Chains A and B, each alone.
Chain A
Amino acid sequence: MSDNLNEQNKPKVIAIYGKGGIGKSSTASNVAAACADEGYKVMIIGCDPKSDSSITLLGGKRIPTILDLIRSGVDITEDDVVFEGYNGIKCVEVGGPEPGIGCAGRGIIVAIQKLKKISTVQDQCDLVIYDVPGDIVCGGFVAPIRKGLVSEAYVLTSGEYMPLYAANNICRGLSKINTPLSGVICNARNVSREDEIVRKFAEEIGSKLIAFIPKEQIVQDCERDGFSVMEKAPDSEIAQVYRKLACAIMSKDGSVMVKALEDERLRELTR
């Protein structure tokens, strides 16, 4: 495909938010892979101190994190922290302190500022995905948005009450920092009326459901081997879903300011 898909030369920079463990990282890496398959230049920036965003794009390998290098005191260049994974995807991991020590939020801020200073890879991409950790617990976790790096935010949820509750909270947070939402993605957990519940939720906050990803064992099987579904099982049904989602994300932006639901309404929705 052409090298010049990115016509305005401005990358689409997105972040996927959602409750911890709901599937942000696996969705991000599969979307990244699907876009790369389409010929887009893609970058993924893992902001979780666990540094698990890019593993499945790197054949199960871990890369040195920005914060590890900053901590060791060496001079850092782009080559030290930007690694090429599946189909040319640029992978970066922010890293962070061990759980329960220091300040991961501050870590994200420091790392993304460092990255901006030493690397221009982001600007040469068509799609940059910030894979942020679960809940927005402090300012550091919204730094990619606040610092003006992210242009589109998505929220990932299942039809279960708690993930929806988290998603709703995230929407509240987004409107607080005046950031629109570009769409709701459902990562199914096979609860009853799941599609309907999440679709309704998306509508009522003022956004729309842009993908319904089924729960499939194959996602975890591929992950265990260190791969995305796109790489290991490109012919699977779910690979097709990721492709469609990638397409939706790369097409025109449907960003709108959303309004979080009242707790009571949210409860009704899931009943």
Chain B
Amino acid sequence: MDKIKDDGQTKTKKEISIIHPRPSSIVAALYTLRDLNVDVAILHGPPGCSFKHARLLEEDGIHVVTTSLDENGFVFGGHDELVALLEKVSEMFDPKLIGVVGTCVSMIIGEELHDAVLEANPDVPVIEVEVHAGYRNNTKGVLLTLESALDSGIISENEFDRQKALLEEATMVEKRHGAASKEYLAPSRGDVKYKVAQRIIGLLKEGKRGITIMNAKKETGYMFADITVAVNEIAKQLGVETNIVNMANIDDTLGLPRVRHHAKCIKDDLEARGIVIHDNIGGLDEYPIAGNVAGKLIDEKYGDYDFAVITGVPHAVPMDSISGMEIISVTNGPRQVLPLKEMGHKYVIVEIDLHPKTLGVNHIVESEFGATLREVAKDE
């Protein structure tokens, strides 16, 4: 492949021009700040910027506020507004750690986040992220945030390198079979959950052997894990629980503190429900590489299994290892349906609006597909 810069500045001929809107780097920065456990994130920009996610993040216990730059701010700059807001949040929320995030507006007009931080001089560390929404890959927002966190000594060099490698892999995963794989991907609701539930029950009844692979991105694991639980419950009900092996990326020793905490919570919940995870395939932030781990394990141990239920980021599991199986995958991205079908997944299910339901929780949350499975199994 040609040299491709991920910073959005250079676009080689080989880069496709994607026309569906996709996740914003600003929002990615906000979520990363959350993972770094900031108490307050300040958006330096227009009041409506990143509104929906700012709201969702509040469910996760962090305060998101905005300098609310208006037409005056666009013309005259918003230095004073940022200084004032830094002072205000210090008083209001008594934060231990603050994040300041740029937006298109403040970056285009050349606002210096650092100048404002110096002037306000809060007595807690501030992670400054000079980011806008114009990057080709939203992982750039994560990277910029981590760079700044590294500079202010909040994460170690090792953790930074690890995250950076994961991000590069995540970008590649999206380019290969994800939302960045095509010029345009129409959103789809996927297959009917009821039908797919029937099929899984049918497979179990036939005595087929299956693998569940949860390869979830961070907190989305709270809901994807429910599908693992449901499949196991039904297998048990049908007396074939030994026909199922479970894999999940719930290593609670990896990643940023908040991410580890999620892994721990999910792990504990699974244990409490008597679900055995036969293979732990990585940390909750390792979804870009955990799919490969799953693939290797299958090659070694489970190559002759009949079906696989893959949840989270199913397109990161290499087809080579599973092409002989009937694949049922569950995603939360409506644009992911088409690429997954093209990869050869027989059934693709979308858990609509999964993400909002997994914010601010620390227990497994029931999924629509899990609920459907349980409901359909009642008639057995």
Query: Residues on A close to B: CB < 8 A?
Result: 67, 70-71, 73, 96-97, 100-104, 106-107, 110
| Cβ contacts under 8 Å, A70 to chain B | 71-72, 75
Residues of B within 8 A of A96 (CB): 75
What are 5 A-B residue pairs whose CB atoms fall within 8 Å in the complex? A97-B76, A101-B76, A101-B77, A101-B79, A101-B110
Most chain B CB within 10 A, of A70, A71, A100, A103, is at: A103
Q: How far does the alpha carbon of A67 sit from the alpha carbon of B71 in the complex, in Å?
A: 10
Chain A residues whose C-beta falls within 8 Å of the C-beta of B74 in the assembled complex: 102-103, 106, 110
Residues of B within 8 A of A104 (CB): 75
How far apart are the CA atoms of A102 and B108 in the complex, in Å?
9
Identity of the chain A residue whose Cβ is nearest the Cβ of B73 in the assembled complex: A102
7 A-B pairs with least C-beta separation: A102-B77, A107-B75, A103-B109, A101-B77, A102-B76, A97-B76, A106-B74
Please determine whether B71 and A102 come into contact, CB atoms closer than 8 angstroms: no
Complex partner residue of B75 from A73, A100, A106, CB under 8 angstroms:
A106
List chain A residues, Cβ under 8 A from B76.
67, 71, 97, 101-102, 107
Question: Whose C-beta in chain A lies nearest to the C-beta of B69?
Answer: A102
Tell me whether A110 and B71 are in contact (CB under 8 A). Answer: yes
The CA-CA distance from A208 to B47 in the complex, in Å, is: 50
Tell me the complex Cα distance, A97–B71, Å: 12
A-chain residues with CB within 8 Å of residue B72 when the two chains form the complex = 70-71, 73
What per-residue 1/0 map shows which CB atoms of B99-132 lie under 8 Å from chain A? 0000000001110000000000000000000000
State in angstroms the CA–CA spacing of A141 and B109 once bound together: 15
User: Which chain B residue lies CB-closest to A70?
Assistant: B72
- Give the chain A neighbours of B71 by CB distance below 8 A: 70, 106, 110
Residues of chain A lying within 8 A (CB to CB) of residue B75: 67, 70-71, 96-97, 102-104, 106-107, 110
Given contacts A67-B76, A71-B75, 13 further A-B contacts (CB under 8 A): A67-B75, A70-B75, A73-B72, A97-B76, A101-B77, A102-B73, A102-B76, A103-B108, A103-B109, A104-B75, A106-B74, A107-B75, A110-B75
B67 to chain A, nearest CB (A): 13
For residue B110, which residues in chain A have a CB less than 8 angstroms away from its CB?
100-101
Q: How far is the CB of A218 from chain B (nearest CB, A)?
A: 37
Chain B nearest Cβ from A51, distance in angstroms:
14
CA distance A73 to B76 in the complex (A): 13
Residues of B within 8 A of A107 (CB): 75-76
Residues 56-89 (chain B) with a chain A CB within 8 angstroms: 71-77, 79
- CB-based nearest B residue for A68: B76
**Closest partner residue, chain A, to B105 (CB atom):** A103
Chain B positions within 8 Å of A101 at CB level: 76-77, 79, 110
Q: Within the assembled complex, what's the spacing in Å between the Cα atoms of A246 and B246? A: 86
> Looking across the interface, which residue of chain B has its beta carbon closest to that of A101?
B77
In whole angstroms, what is the CA distance A70 to B79 when docked? 18
Q: B79 — which chain A residues lie within 8 A by C-beta?
A: 101
* Nearest CB of chain A from residue B114's CB, rounded to whole Å: 15
Q: Which residues of A contact B108 (CB under 8 A)?
A: 103
Distance of A114 from chain B, by nearest CB (Å): 10
Residues of B with C-beta under 8 A to A100:
110
Inter-chain contacts of A102 with B (CB < 8 A): 73-77, 109
Expressed in whole angstroms, the minimum distance between the Cβ of A65 and any Cβ of chain B is 11
Q: From B108, which residue of chain A is reached at the shortest CB distance?
A: A103
Q: Which residues of B contact A71 (CB under 8 A)?
A: 72, 75-76
- A67: chain B residues at CB < 8 Å are 75-76
